[in-house]
Amino acid sequence: MSNDVVIQNIAQLILPKKTDKPLKGNQLNELKIIENATLVAKDGKVVYAGPHTEEYDAQEVVDATGKVVSPALVDAHTHLVFGGSREHEMALKQQGASYLEILEQGGGILSTVKATREATEDELLKKTDKSLREMMSYGVLTVESKSGYGLDKENELKQLKVSHALEKKYGITMKHTFLGPHAVPKEAESNQAFLQEMIDLLPEVKEYADFADIFCETGVFTVDESREYMKAAKEQGFDVKIHADEIDPLGGLGVAIEQGAISADHLVASSEEDKQALKDSDTVAVVLPGTTFYLGKDQYADARGMLDNNGAVAIASDFNPGSNVTNNLQMVMAIAALKLKLTPNEIWNAVTVNAAKAIDADAGTLEQDDRANFVIWNVPNYEYVPYHYGINHAEYVYKDGKLFIDNRIEVQQ
């Protein structure tokens, strides 16, 4: 019986290891690469992925000579849905204003909250649709999408509904995260009063959200407040996440491990003690080097130290309007190589199988019967993607075994 597609003559086929738990420590540097390979898909599933074979016929046969094939990428931390933009803040940053100083001036998150509240659901849908299509063109077919720019019931739900509408439209895997406690709105009586308001919202947003997240940082929510929120969310059946130790070493990673969070994200300022504790935890440390790069900081998350301590690490974009305005995960892979000193093997595992573990998604591998979501890269070898940075190397993106995006540049003469 004929298959849907056979990809032949693949120069290198990247096959991350399928595993029940996230890869930890040295495991991230183990990556199966098959040269002169074949990939076969039928009915949206992988039939075969391995050494060259002529055993399979198909309706579509693609010659991938000189090219690389990998699972579609997984972006495990994005703020995909938001109103407005914040390009005017670049001048403030260039003058030395810190993130928290901009926030105190009514900029930062609060300016995006204002724009998001003012946007209709249709306006947000149109804007986010464009961002998501760009993201998918870079080879990402599994996306985590956070709320957090509404800071009230109506607008948090609006963001989550936009995410669901796009998931339905494109048929990709999306995970939806309620980040109600992302900042404290100006109208709030106090941090604690607003936090309680967000806790009270948890039962209602459960219909639309897979995870509950909180921003644990100076000027936002303390470790104790974050613990209170995470406990309440778990009681409502949520898996929990946390924005932890992005600026100051408050101990957010430690409370994430304590509460069994599925992931702790940012971790630029995490303590040595907390980084060492990752080895005894399945919490995935999601590092966001693009954010550090965009903010012009010298100190990056210590991904190397986390791996050396046998922790689980993933890499994500943190696409958002204020601190990392890129939906190009390939660019972030390059920053991870240059600034985090991660190997190509570690980077590929961190944006596929481990990123999937950070959001509980069945993605990031190409084993038999896996969903046939894969990318044909117009590069000579798998190390080339993080090496040649700033452009799109994804030539074809396949979803469920069907050509989904064709990025070939056709020059008209």
383: number of Cβ within 10 Å: 18
Residue 246 assigned ligand-binding role: yes
Residue 408 assigned ligand-binding role: no
Residue 320 assigned ligand-binding role: yes
Q: What are phi and psi of 45, to 5 degrees?
A: -120, 155
Residue 322 assigned ligand-binding role: yes
Q: What DSSP letter does each residue of 314-347 carry, written as one string?
A: EE---BBTTTB----HHHHHHHHHHHS---HHHH
Residue 89 assigned ligand-binding role: no
Q: What are phi and psi of 71, to 5 degrees?
A: -60, 150
Residue 99 assigned ligand-binding role: no
What distance in Å separates the CA atoms of residue 69 and residue 167, rounded to the nearest whole number? Answer: 24
Do the Cβ atoms of 302 and 270 come closer than 8 Å?
A: yes
Q: Angle, to 10 degrees, between the axis of helix 223-235 and the axis of helix 191-205?
A: 20
Among 202, 181, 204, 203, smallest CA distance to 193 is for 181
Residue 243 assigned ligand-binding role: yes
Identify the three-state secondary structure at position 294: helix
Residue 371 assigned ligand-binding role: no
Residue 263 assigned ligand-binding role: no
Question: Alpha carbon of 386 to those of 48, 291, 381: distances in Å?
Answer: 27, 17, 11
Which stretch of DSSP H or E encloses residue 394? strand 394-399
Among 93, 126, 104, smallest CA distance to 324 is for 93
Going by the annotation, the residues of the binding site for 4-imidazolone-5-propanoate are 86, 149, 182, 246, 323
Going by the annotation, the residues of the binding site for Zn(2+) are 77, 79, 243, 318
Going by the annotation, the residues of the binding site are 77, 79, 86, 149, 182, 243, 246, 318, 320, 322-323
Going by the annotation, the residues of the binding site for N-formimidoyl-L-glutamate are 149, 320, 322
